[in-house]
């Protein structure tokens, strides 16, 4: 149910009748003030005959917009209320509060957990705590994990995701952990676990047998196919270099949705099969499936790499006009790249000047590289200034060379020297950082 946000509390009170109605409204609330208002109305409206967990449910729903507002004072105020009305005894309220705190202040979350009575501390609470530790410190997360007596599928998946996302555990070790879970501990993996493992394998770009063994698990254990799992399998096979297996999985998906098509189209483009990617995209549209933003980034980047300027222009127009999708920075980056690569520098610059979001480093770099290649200093001028005003990280330090080359092309020798100086300062900072890091490591003596 959608609720007019401008209603005053009094009007709301007359507009909403049952507690069920208020709960539904509260669930959909996005701004903290309306959530608090709805929550107070819920408390007024609640009759003694209503089950007590109703307030608890309300508190859980109110906590979401509250933590999204990321205001610690607001959250601790609500916390005080929960304490006073004795609602923290409900595990679902406690776990929600813990989750909210873990996003704002891990230290408070930790403290809250330590103070919790054992009766409140169920698996939900424990797993929220684990998740919180995972996002701050891997070692203490693992210690905590080892101390959980009856680890369930969520505990294992959380730990697994932590290992993969931090890149602290190689894929081989990650899979050993997966085996420890499913084989040694006999905890069945569900589709979230499998998506986690597949994403981990895919991002590590590791060997194909890993992906196969997970695929094997899916088939053997008859894990219910979800669109996420299917798409992850396609994505993983494509990323580890087996487009043929990806296609086979894609062909066998019973009810294909946009996610499967996206994964397959991205896979095709990844393997430089641009024409096939575009054909697949057209086939999907022809079948009446509505494309999403992600597919368009894949298709547009395929156009850029294949040098299909007009095709790219048409697809961009299609995205905006026919499908009503708002172009993101990725789409603009693709368009700039399409024009820039083809040497149509004016068109590329035009995209930058008319786009509705602030151009980022990727976009400027794409234009500047083309300016150098096609020898056009005039179009580069604004970009150079913008880039120099941005934070340039070590991996982008090649930009200084690019800019210095562009200045040389424009015969702006004073600026060439200035950029060289900037580059030296940057390198100096970098080296000093490295030296300090090196001092910290203990030398091993054999």
- Where on the chain is the footprint of DNA (CB under 7 A)? 53, 56-57, 60, 90-92, 95-96, 99, 122-125, 127-128, 131, 152-155, 157-158, 161, 165, 190-193, 195-196, 199, 226, 228-229, 231, 235, 239, 259, 262-263, 266, 269-270, 292-294, 297-298, 301, 304, 328, 330, 333-334, 337
Nearer to DNA, 106 or 422 (CB): 106
For residues 28 and 408, which CB has a smaller minimum distance to DNA in the complex?
Answer: 28
CA dist 436 and 303 (Å) reads 45
Smallest separation, CB 160 to DNA (Å): 8
Q: Nearer to DNA by C-beta: 211 or 416?
A: 211
Residue 7 or 225: which CB sits closer to DNA? 225
Task: For the CB of residue 213, give the shortest distance to DNA in the complex, in Å.
Answer: 18
In whole angstroms, how close is the CB of 413 to DNA at the nearest point?
A: 32
* CB closer to DNA out of 34 and 157: 157
Cβ–Cβ contacts within 10 Å for residue 35, how many? 25
Token pair in block for residue 420 = 């060289």
Nearer to DNA, 365 or 410 (CB): 365
CB of 416 to DNA, least distance (A): 27
Nearest distance from residue 182's CB to DNA, in Å? 12
The distance of closest approach from Cβ of residue 272 to DNA in the complex, given in angstroms and rounded to an integer, is 11
């Amino acid at each position: 149910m959608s609720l007019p946000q401008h209603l005053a509390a009094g009007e709301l009170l007359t507009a909403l009748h049952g507690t069920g109605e208020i709960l539904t409204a509260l669930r959909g609330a996005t701004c903290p003030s309306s959530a608090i208002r709805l929550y107070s109305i819920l408390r007024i409206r609640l009759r003694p005959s209503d089950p007590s967990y109703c307030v608890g449910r309300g508190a859980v729903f109110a906590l979401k917009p509250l933590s999204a507002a990321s205001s610690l004072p607001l959250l601790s105020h609500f916390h005080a209320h929960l304490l006073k009305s004795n609602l923290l005894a409900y595990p679902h309220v406690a776990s929600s509060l813990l989750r909210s705190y873990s996003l704002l202040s891990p230290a408070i979350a930790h403290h809250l957990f330590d103070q919790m009575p054992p009766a409140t501390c169920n698996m939900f609470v424990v797993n929220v705590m684990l998740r919180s530790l995972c996002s701050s410190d891997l070692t203490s997360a693992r210690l905590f994990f080892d101390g959980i007596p009856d680890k369930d599928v969520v505990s294992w998946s959380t730990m697994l995701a932590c290992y993969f996302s931090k890149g602290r555990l190689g894929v081989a070790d990650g899979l050993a952990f997966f085996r420890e879970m499913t084989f040694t501990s006999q905890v069945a993996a569900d589709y979230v676990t499998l998506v986690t493992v597949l994403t981990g394998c895919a991002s590590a770009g590791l060997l194909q047998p890993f992906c196969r063994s997970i695929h094997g698990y899916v088939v053997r254990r008859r894990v219910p196919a979800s669109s996420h799992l299917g798409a992850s399998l396609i994505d993983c096979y494509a990323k580890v270099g087996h487009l043929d297996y990806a296609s086979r999985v894609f062909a066998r998906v019973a009810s294909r949705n946009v996610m499967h098509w996206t994964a397959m189209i991205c896979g095709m483009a990844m393997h430089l099969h641009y024409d096939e990617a575009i054909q697949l995209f057209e086939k999907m549209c022809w079948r009446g499936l509505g494309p999403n933003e992600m597919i368009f980034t894949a298709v547009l980047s395929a156009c850029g790499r294949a040098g299909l300027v007009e095709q790219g222009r048409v697809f961009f127009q299609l995205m905006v006009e026919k499908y009503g999708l708002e172009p993101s920075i990725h789409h603009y980056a693709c368009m700039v790249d399409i024009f820039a690569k083809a040497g149509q520098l004016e068109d590329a610059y035009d995209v930058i000047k008319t786009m509705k979001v602030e151009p980022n480093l990727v976009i400027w770099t794409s234009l500047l590289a083309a300016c150098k290649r096609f020898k056009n200093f005039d179009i580069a001028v604004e970009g150079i200034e913008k880039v120099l005003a941005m934070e340039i990280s070590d991996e982008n330090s090649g930009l200084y060379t690019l800019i210095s080359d562009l200045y040389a092309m424009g015969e702006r020798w004073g600026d060439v020297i200035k950029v060289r100086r900037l580059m030296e300062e940057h390198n100096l900072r970098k080296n000093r950082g490295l030296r300090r890091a090196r001092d910290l490591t203990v030398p091993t003596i054999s």
